[in-house]
Amino acid sequence: MFKSITVVIIAASTASSFAAVNPYPMALRASLSANAKSQSLNEWESSGFTPHDLFARFRAQGNAAEFCEALVALPPRDLALFEAELESPLNQRLLPCRDSLLGKLENHWNQFNTTTLLDVPTDPEAHRLPSLEKVVDPTTTRATVATGGLEKGEIAITLDDGPHPTRTRRILEIFKSWGVRATFFELGFQAHARPKVSRDVLAQGHSIGSHSWDHPNLPALAEKDLPAALAQIDRGRKAVEAAIGENFPFFRFPYGATNEILSKYVTDQGLVSFLWNMDSMDWKLRDPAELLKGLAAILDQGKPGIILFHDIHEQDVLVMEPFLQMLKDRAYSTVVFVPRKSPALLP
């Protein structure tokens, strides 16, 4: 009698300790903490705990119920770190909790009223910023472009990882009303999923480079499988070209991470590789007020050059108009990079 009760108790406690081993809460915490600690995009990437890494591991061998349980438990401001992965077509049908999590984030973002962040005049006539073109010749620009050779008072706005189903267009509307042109670095799978948004970006006079197919760390991938890394570059570029019917010879390495072989390959393809010298830190600052404060500090250094944003993040949409107003207050001109057409291509 006693013996059988002991067996039952042991069985029950073993079962419950198995049930308690859900690895996802810890993985999500590791991701949030690595994000908070990182000082640069490259450092954040090297942590091995980016949402991209976590979701790739989940797709390879994950348990959807356990992953959902962990995601549902996050407060919205933490959940926001994983939003791009929740929205990604790659994960669309894998998580039963996806729609409710995205709904929770929508409510979270709706509470921010950015008109309180900075006094932006409502008169559209006041929304003008000088917009300049900087011609980049891929046949002579061999080195990676980090500052774009811009002069004092000039800033090139660049936006990566889109096109996003709704946010890219909202940013386009803001740019249109301010007369601003920018350079977008799109992911292949995103452009493939929504080519119409890419065409709208192009139609408004912006430049569009590519940014790989789905954002791996290319040097890390190249160490294991060089052809796969090169295919990421080619596939991303072709997808963007197929979406917009035009070929911009512009490329940006995911996380700005590259090595000698990859950089040479990109140059050999006739592509100019762009980095940045000002990071908005939007991959880390998810609160619009904090993001805008960081942007003010960057602009107060008075450097010219290339600033990095991501048109997939809601906080970027929310701060974009106040940011443009800050540029105006500091007498900046915005710059779009345009490729010099090779003589063979001219009509």
Q: Among residue numbers 253 through 272, which ones bind Zn ion (CB under 5 A)?
A: 254
Residue number of the CB closest to Zn ion reads 160
Question: How would you class 94 by CB atoms within 10 Å of its CB: exposed for 0-12, middle for 13-18, buried for 19 or more?
Answer: middle
Which of these ranges, 6-14, 153-161, 235-243, 285-293, lies near Zn ion under the rule CB under 5 A?
A: 153-161
Site string for Zn ion, 235-254 (x = CB under 5 A): -------------------x
Q: Is the dihedral of CA 265, 223, 81, 94 positive or negative?
A: positive
Binding flag, residue 161, Zn ion (CB under 5 A): yes
Neighbours of 27 (CB within 10 A): 17
Nearer Cβ to Zn ion, position 160 or 316? 160
> Minimum distance from CB of 231 to Zn ion (Å)?
18
**Count of positions on this chain that bind Zn ion (CB under 5 A):** 3
> Minimum distance from CB of 153 to Zn ion (Å)?
27
Q: Among residue numbers 50 through 89, which ones bind Zn ion (CB under 5 A)?
A: none
- Residue in 53, 160, 311, 316 annotated catalytic: 160
Question: For 145, which DSSP code?
Answer: B
Per DSSP, the three-state class of 319 is helix
Nearer Cβ to Zn ion, position 162 or 304? 162
> Minimum distance from CB of 82 to Zn ion (Å)?
16
- As a whole number of angstroms, the distance between CA 24 and CA 201 comes to 37
> Minimum distance from CB of 308 to Zn ion (Å)?
9
Nearer Cβ to Zn ion, position 53 or 154? 53
> Minimum distance from CB of 35 to Zn ion (Å)?
15
Site string for Zn ion, 106-145 (x = CB under 5 A): ----------------------------------------
Looking at 53, 87, 154, 160, which residue binds Zn ion (CB under 5 A)?
160
Question: For 252, which DSSP code?
Answer: -
- Residue in 279, 310, 311, 313 annotated catalytic: 310
Tell me, what amino acid is at 151?
E
Nearest to 68 by CA among 101, 35, 108, 92: 101
**Active-site residue, 160 included:** yes
Q: What angle do CA 45, 287, 112 make, to 5 degrees?
A: 145
Q: Among residue numbers 183 through 212, which ones bind Zn ion (CB under 5 A)?
A: none
Q: Name the token pair of 162.
A: 């889109």
**Active-site residue, 313 included:** no
Q: What angle do CA 176, 145, 305 make, to 5 degrees?
A: 55
Binding flag, residue 282, Zn ion (CB under 5 A): no
Q: Name the token pair of 11.
A: 């069985």
DSSP, residue by residue, 272-308: EEB--SEE--TTT--SHHHHHHHHHHHHHTT--EEEE
Cα R_g (the chain), whole angstroms? 22
Catalytic site residues? 160, 310
Residues in contact with Zn ion by the rule CB under 5 A: 160-161, 254
